[in-house]
Structure 1
Amino acid sequence: MYKLGSILLFLIFSLTLNAQNDTGFRFKDPDQRSEKIKFELVNNLIIVPVKLNGVELTFLLDSGVDKTLLIALGTGDSLDLKKAQKVKIRGLGSKDSFEAFQSIGNTLEINDAININQEVYFIIDKNNELAKRLGLPVNGIIGYDFFKDFIVRINYKTKYIKLYNPDKFNRKLRRYDQLPLQFYKNKPYATLKVEDESISKSNLTFLIDTGSGSSFWFLENEHISEPELYFQDILGYGLSSIIEGKRSKVKKVFFGKYEFEEPNSAYPDVQQILEIEKNVVRDGTVGAEVLRRFKLFFDYPNKRIYFRPNIYFDDSFNYDMSGIVFDYDGVKIVKELKNVRMKTKSDSDEISYNNTNDFIMSIGVKPKVVVKAIRDQSPAKDVDILPGDELLTINGKNAYDLSLEQIQSILAEKEGNKVKLEFLRNNKNIEKEIYLRDRLKDLLNNSEN
């Protein structure tokens, strides 16, 4: 089993106002030791239920952000934000610049954990890009504010988070490996050993980022050179921009004592990361495609991360082999005929069910799956699939019955697989067939010939 990391959400803040001190999170019952939170996992990303000023919302849990963001509210929702002031926020993509409002004095609840003086940044996102990327009504992002007051256990297998009161935490973690964390602008970094011909420094500093669905990102610098074999690819998203860069592999990366051989790696074409953050310590990012392979304890109060492998540890590192980036873009009305099973009663009063030729019409609202972008030199490019094409079916299955994650899994399953796709373009149905192709393997074979 594997999950794809097609969503990459990095936010870098450029603020002109001084942040206000808040009281932090605490349990409503001061004697409470711990609290379990059920989460949804979408494209490796963790979605948690929250309540902000009494309104029920869902937030992305992203250790790579230092502020709490409110991005979009569902239709008909209203929310009273306290003491709002206008600020500017810049994101990872070249077009990711937003007008936002800084608000303090809000009440944020996550199950039985509460902060009665939460600082929130409200981003005006008219197109609701985050929800379109994930296919869920995600209203915001929370990171440092969530982690800093607890010891946080994340179990990707059971899809539960457990919060522990640091003063009452007495669990022994002898079976877990550990790494020290260092913090820069309230974001966690760890030093990992890397072996590759293109990297001259063995120990590199990585941002530990639950909000990146990818595996390893490397930022080219004096120690990290352009890889010898790579291809240009679409790596993911900022809030509104597509992030492009080089797709490659590195020889080995060690996460503590655990070794990953030839994991997928990416080199984003976004040098403004360092310019915006003015970050002199960061060499790259470890995303959730790696983190999901471990049981994790984030211990911000003691600046440690504890980890041990789970059942996903040996999963292969896969990536899209079609060249298609899909997105949700609105909804569509779907009509379906359903066979009616009639209930009949015999003379002996026994009830039986008979299939008939009678049908009922079912009408529902379904998400519309649309091609957002196409990678050059890809199977999709070869058969003239275009941005804006609406996906109707994939291998005979209705696209609206599948999640984006399920669609992406089909497109990353195995090199050589034939995938049948049906699209709607200019009100006409068109059919396409592609054969999945491992671009990195092509490059390697060509280099040996």
Structure 2
Amino acid sequence: MKNYRFYRRIFLFVGLLCFFSISAQTQFGITQNQKSTTVPFQLINNLIVIPVEVNGTSLSFILDTGVSKPILFNLNDKDSIQINDITPISIRGLGSDKPVEALKSFNNTFELKGLYNPSQELYVVLDESINFSARLGMTIHGIIGYDLFKDFIVEVNYSRKRLKFHNRETYKSKKCRKCEEIPLTLFKNKPYVDTKVVIENSEEVPAHLLVDTGSSDAVWLFKDKGKNINVPQKKYTDFLGKGLGGSIYGERAKLTYLNLAGSKLHGAKVAFPDSATTTLMRTNIKRNGSVGGEVLKRFNLVYDYQGGTLTLRKNGLFNKPFQYNMSGIEIEYRGSRLIQEITSALARAPQRSDKGSEGITVHFRDVLRLNQVPNFKVVDLRKGSPADFAGLQEGDIILKVNNRSTHQYNLQEVTNMLQGKAGKKVRLLVERNGVKLRFDLVLKSLI
């Protein structure tokens, strides 16, 4: 066997084997024959982010039930990772019907806390423009889904931010009077549930939805007059998100309610993606849309792919209001900048008294420091929004929101500063082409 080194901004140490002699795929197992293992996660913008070791390299993955095989992307000059047994392919992603250049790889070791797979298949996307890290404000290397769910009973506890993987043979479900169990069906390794939606106070409409932990949104619906799934009159055109193929746009509105497992989520926000995106997403002809992280986080969940059930229990987030982008601003983390900060430093000096005794004089002196801080850049501006009317532009760097310096906060916190109830006043200090400008805007509800 020969070993080659493949260069493309990153080092991919590739062991090229004959592709027809690939070993049979194995599966994840719980190490040390334990009955279960617990994996902590971060909840970033309604998305579950978990640490995964790939061939010995520590990476961060989004847990995405909408993906069959792990996909690796956003590897930069500093990343060095071994990728085994590769062949070039093309894949398609949301946002475009154009194929994306990628590699298909076999026989890779994947390890989480207490979980191990010695021979995992994965895909590596080579397009450098595909980068979800800027949208989340932290480094994301890939997405993983079905292969973590298919052989276990998986608890997702959004309240405690932890996943628990149970051995199917030893798992015993706990009695839970406040839980609801509903059927979970798989199509092409993706999970679906049957729900009901009410649009503009109409009758309840059945909706077969993908359970999509990889979506930070609440509900997506595909327009279908025949099934009475229509866009409400109160709506607005908006940026919906980003897929492997690029940006996704559509119309946003508000449901009267979503009925999921008998629980009604009133005022749930809903998006109707454009027709091109809907065509790409609708590999399952029965599918009417998806339910994403902003709904799912309101429950603690138990997935049983093999048993075909999803168990839900409301948690403390259930009654939390749904957030709408009333400012019209979409921001990303884009690089960093240097700022000057003056801090006080403690200084001591010896002092001798007239009587000959010695002491120490303590005083403070100002010290000028140069600090590197994150940039939060306006990357999308909704036409006709409060931010648009105020005069903001794409490319502006947001320095302050209501007199709070943004570099002291993470991306999610800055985004939250730009949200709130209709009528909230937001004062911004931005930098545009080296010039600092101030803007005032008032949040306005369009739905």
Per-residue CA shift, 1:57-83, capped at 9, x if unaligned? 110111111120111235422111111
The corresponding residue for 1:180 is: 183
Superposition TM-score, scaled by structure 2 size: 0.88
**Are the counterparts in 2 of residues 151 and 164 from structure 1 also a CA contact under 8 Å?**
yes
Q: CA deviation at 1:345?
A: 9.4
Alpha-carbon offset, residue 277 of structure 1 = 4.5
Alpha carbons of structure 1 residues 234 and 199: separation in structure 2 relative to 1, 3 Å: farther
CA distance in 2, matches of 1:368, 1:70: 25
Work out whether residues 129 and 240 of structure 1, in 8 Å CA contact, stay in contact via their aligned partners in 2: no
Match of 2:26 among 13, 23, 28: 23
> Corresponding residue for 2:395?
388
Matched residue, 1:134: 136
Local SS of the residue matching 2:407: helix
User: Any idea what SS the aligned residue of 1:168 has?
Assistant: coil
Find 1:84's aligned residue among 75, 83, 86: 86
- Kindly indicate whether residue 416 of structure 2 is the aligned counterpart of residue 416 of structure 1: no
Q: CA shift at 1:197, angstroms?
A: 5.0
Matched, 1:196 2:199: yes
CA distance in 2, matches of 1:323, 1:108: 40
The answer to which structure, 1 or 2, has the higher relative contact order (CA under 8 A, 6+ apart) is 1
Aligned residues: 420
Post-superposition shift, 1:125? 3.4
Q: C-alpha separation between the residues in 2 aligned to 1:255 and 1:320?
A: 24
Which of these residues, 89, 102, 105, is aligned with residue 104 of structure 2? 102
1:182–1:364 distance in 2 versus 1, CA, 3 Å:
same
Q: Give yes or no for the alignment of 1:256 onto 2:261.
A: yes
Greater strand share, structure number? 2
Runs (5+) with no aligned partner, structure 2? 1-18
Paired amino acid for 1:226: V
Larger radius of gyration: 2
The more displaced of 20-29 and 48-57 is 20-29
Q: 1:95 to 1:434 in 2, by over 3 A?
A: farther
**What percentage of residue pairs aligned between the two structures are identical?**
33
Is residue 196–residue 205 contact of structure 2 (8 Å, CA) maintained in 1? yes
**1:216 corresponds to 2:219:** yes
Q: State the Cα distance separating 1:405 from its structure 2 match.
A: 1.2
Distance 1:137 1:76 in 2: 12
- Once the two structures are TM-superposed, the CA of residue 234 in structure 1 deviates from its matched residue by 1.6
Alignment-mate amino acid for residue 425 of structure 2: K
Separation in 2 of the partners of 1:59 and 1:355?
Answer: 49
Aligned-partner residue type, residue 323 of structure 2? N
Change (3 A) 1:390 1:397: same
Asked whether the 8 Å contact 2:348–2:363 carries over to 1, the reply is: no
2:71 paired residue among 69, 72, 79:
69
Q: Is the 8 A contact 1:189 1:208 kept in 2?
A: yes
Aligned residue in 1 for 2:367: 360
Residue 288 (structure 1) aligns with: 293
Mapped partners of 2:301, 2:175: distance in 1: 11
Q: Distance in 1 between matches of 2:344 and 2:282?
A: 59
> Take 1:323 and 1:353, find their aligned partners in 2: how far apart are those partners?
55
| 2:406 alignment partner in structure 1 | 399
**Alpha-carbon distance in 2 for matches of 1:353, 1:237:** 59
- The unaligned stretches of length 5 or more in structure 1 are 1-16, 441-449
RMSD of Structure 2 on Structure 1 (CA):
2.5
Amino acid corresponding to residue 110 of structure 1 in structure 2? L
For normalisation by structure 1, the TM-score amounts to 0.87
Q: How far apart are residue 229 of structure 1 and its match?
A: 2.0
Paired residue secondary structure (2:340): strand
- Change over 3 Å in CA distance of 1:344–1:126 after alignment to 2: same
Q: Distance between the aligned counterparts of 1:269 and 1:232, measured in 2?
A: 10
- Aligned counterpart, 2:45: 43
Report the secondary structure of 2:84's partner residue: coil
Residue 193 of structure 1 aligns to which amino acid in structure 2? K
Distance in 2, matches of 1:193 and 1:263, equals: 12
Find the partner of 1:158 among 134, 157, 160. Answer: 160
SS at match of 2:32: coil
Shift of 1:342: 4.4
Q: 2:16 aligns to what?
A: none
Residue 275 of structure 1: how far off its partner (Å): 4.1
- Give the Cα separation in 2 of the matches to 1:20 and 1:272: 36
Matched, 1:313 2:315: no
Amino acid of the structure 2 residue aligned with 1:205: H
Q: Does 1:265 align with 2:270?
A: yes
Which residue number in structure 1 is paired with residue 305 of structure 2?
300
Alignment of 1:331 with 2:333, yes or no, is no
